[in-house]
Amino acid sequence: MNYKKISIASVAVGMFAAGAAFAQDAEIATWSGFRKGAASFTFDDGAPSQVSDAAPVFDKYGYKGTFNLVYNWNPNWSGFQGMADNGHEIASHSNSHGNNMSGEEASSKKNIEGKIKQKYGIVTVAYPNCNVPSESAVLQNYIVGRICNGSWQGMSDAMGKDGPSNWAKTPAIMTGAEGQLKSTNDFTGQMQNVVKSNGWVAFLTHGFQGKNNGNATYSPTDLGAIEGALKWAKDNDKDIWVAPMGFVAMYIKERKAAKIEPQDGGAANTMTFELKHSIADNISKYDYPLSIKVKTDWSKVEVTQGEAKLESKVDGGYVYFDAVPNAGKIVVKNADAAAPESSSSAEPPQSSSSEPAVSSSSTTALPMQAFDGRHLAAYVDASGYITVQNAQGLSITVFNSLGNVVRTTKGIGLEQKVYTGAKGVYVVKIGNKAWSLKIK
């Protein structure tokens, strides 16, 4: 019975593959996770309070921000590196905070990259004093140049689904005492608007009221208002995508350039796709995962891309997953037709002393070590997924609190959801490093 149904589905896929009709049956989401709108929180001037006060609030809700540092102001480099290792984006705000970047587009990128390690280095910039410098120098070094309020330049404050009309003029709305957004309602109102318009809004914050802000004295914001905004976002996480500016920019550029195409000749009970774009610059490889949905009659599927097992979900006749452009064939397999995967096939927990210890109270990363020059990140996102960054090509294993293996996969792309499950403490091992993380 199952077999008959599956055969029909396979034939249908073959027919669609031959014609343009298929395009309707494999779709790239406007926003990650098929959410309706996107929001980015950006922070300028490298305030000490951004490390000590703001980062823990963001991490509590599983969200990540963009932190624009002024090189010559010698911010808390190790504190900001720790944030990069935890998934936040570190970005440039020049060397000297002079008007029009003082010609520091390339040099500030290089200088900050000498202090902060993250994949692709420093890929976004915020202009000091909101003044747009040489656009060509910006776009040779960065995928985003951020201004302040768009309305201050005769543009709109929020953006549409394709981002700004000029990536060297990406707007962000000023928050705090001198800004437009002061209360939680001010922030959530902006996010509700982009959920309605399928757009993208960015916020620009300096320091916080009553905190140690160093040089970031301009327009302090109530951190409680931001926490309220993040709480609202988490409650509405199916609709609003909160992510660093650089990641949202990559997502938009990839989505506009990418095509998902079915491949012929797959085995029965599988569908095969290629997801490709040809964006080329020297700044990023544009391998942020794109969210995909594919029409299916199957009730249970397994999705792989190369050696990576992709998290997937079947709902309403579609299978949903995140795949990485230009990273190999995507295979969607009917899991009901496949040999049943026995839970006893999971490797028993190893007892060697190098094995990570599970501490029921720890939610922070174990000490970091250099690993072939890259800086890995692992965290639990707002949807409850154990998420890793920069793990391309490395073996990933997730253990539950009993020490049982609950997931094995391979790293792929810039960011990757690797597991979600019951609340509790898990250990994720990437290569030879381990993190203890809590799904709440």
Contact residues for Zn ion, defined by CB under 5 A: 44-45, 128
Smallest separation (angstroms) from Zn ion to the CB of 169:
17
Q: Count CB atoms within 10 A of the CB of residue 109.
A: 24
Q: CB-wise, 45 or 239, nearer to Zn ion?
A: 45
Smallest separation (angstroms) from Zn ion to the CB of 218:
7
Smallest separation (angstroms) from Zn ion to the CB of 49:
15
Q: CB-wise, 45 or 381, nearer to Zn ion?
A: 45
**Do residues 381 and 417 lie in contact, with contact meaning Cβ atoms separated by under 8 Å?**
yes
Q: CB-wise, 206 or 333, nearer to Zn ion?
A: 206
For 94, 112, 238, 260, the CA distances from 74, given in Å and listed in that order, are 12, 10, 38, 45
**Do residues 328 and 434 lie in contact, with contact meaning Cβ atoms separated by under 8 Å?**
no
Q: CB-wise, 226 or 427, nearer to Zn ion?
A: 226
Smallest separation (angstroms) from Zn ion to the CB of 51:
17
Q: CB-wise, 70 or 252, nearer to Zn ion?
A: 70
Q: Is 233 exposed, middle or buried (0-12, 13-18, 19+ CB in 10 A)?
A: buried
Q: Count CB atoms within 10 A of the CB of residue 396.
A: 24
Smallest separation (angstroms) from Zn ion to the CB of 436:
36
Owner of token pair 């779709």: 27
CA of residue 96 relative to chain centroid, distance: 29
Please choose, from the candidates 46, 200, 199, the residue with its C-alpha nearest in 3D space to the C-alpha of residue 115: 46
Consecutive H or E run containing 44? strand 37-44
Tokens representing residue 373 in the block = 């020059």
For 154, 155, 195, the CA distances from 159, given in Å and listed in that order, are 13, 9, 12
d(CA 349, CA 351): 6
Backbone angles phi, psi at 106, to 5 degrees: -80, -40
Owner of token pair 């090509």: 393
Closest residue to Zn ion, judged by C-beta, is: 44
Smallest separation (angstroms) from Zn ion to the CB of 164:
20
Q: CB-wise, 42 or 305, nearer to Zn ion?
A: 42
Smallest separation (angstroms) from Zn ion to the CB of 44:
4
Smallest separation (angstroms) from Zn ion to the CB of 252:
25
Consecutive H or E run containing 57? helix 55-61
Q: CB-wise, 125 or 319, nearer to Zn ion?
A: 125
Q: CB-wise, 91 or 243, nearer to Zn ion?
A: 91
